[in-house]
Chains A and B, each alone.
Chain A
Amino acid sequence: DQQVKQNSPSLSVQEGRISILNCDYTNSMFDYFLWYKKYPAEGPTFLISISSIKDKNEDGRFTVFLNKSAKHLSLHIVPSQPGDSAVYFCAAWSGNQFYFGTGTSLTVIP
């Protein structure tokens, strides 16, 4: 049973515009959330995280929003750049392991 879901397998955005990637989870006990970026032939690399006691965390062009009541988090990339084209995974921490979503492939069109 997939406890972390990314319902959009792919997303295309024009360079300079905003990219919004979404993630839903089912377990209300998750207390820490992360986003990873993955290029082909490489392992995922950490992007940004948020604790469940916060509803927003910002790092440069990347902002993660957490809506605990809706069990939903999103990653905003502003402005989007061609180098942001990659697969993005959200992950949630249960207390003893990470649960990952299936990933969203972002393409930023120059």
Chain B
Amino acid sequence: KAGVTQTPRYLIKTRGQQVTLSCSPISGHRSVSWYQQTPGQGLQFLFEYFSETQRNKGNFPGRFSGRQFSNSRSEMNVSTLELGDSALYLCASSLHGRASSGEQFFGPGTRLTVL
């Protein structure tokens, strides 16, 4: 079974630009969650999509948005980029998005650098 894939793996943008990251979950998984990893903060939850609907949302500004398609692939968009958005963005897929249904499987991440 193929794992979670994320594209692109690396991205360099400048302040004020916008960016779209993509995540393809494991086949059959309906839940996709997005996380931001920075050195001092660890993994911070951004949002979770399940069956094309945003089910949960973390404490991030509205510049961070996402969506999920009918094939469960998900995209995350960040508008008006700031220097502080430089981070590793991880997506994770799971069957149902609930702890009791099993662990999440993470992709390798997209390293975003904002200059």
> A43 touching B109 by the CB < 8 A rule?
yes
Q: 1/0 per residue A9-53: CB within 8 Å of B?
A: 000000000000000000000011010100001111110010000
B90 & A44 in contact (Cβ 8 Å cutoff): yes
| Majority secondary structure, B binding face | strand
- Count residues of B near A (Cβ-Cβ below 8 Å): 24
Q: How many residues in A have their beta carbons less than 8 Å from beta carbons of B?
A: 24
Any B CB within 8 A of the CB of A69: no
**In contact, B42 and A34 (Cβ under 8 angstroms):** no
Residues of A that sit less than 8 Å from B by CB:
2, 6, 31-32, 34, 36, 41-46, 49, 89, 91, 93, 96-103
Chain B positions within 8 Å of A, measured between CB atoms, are 4, 33, 35, 40-45, 48, 55-56, 58, 90, 92, 99-100, 103-109
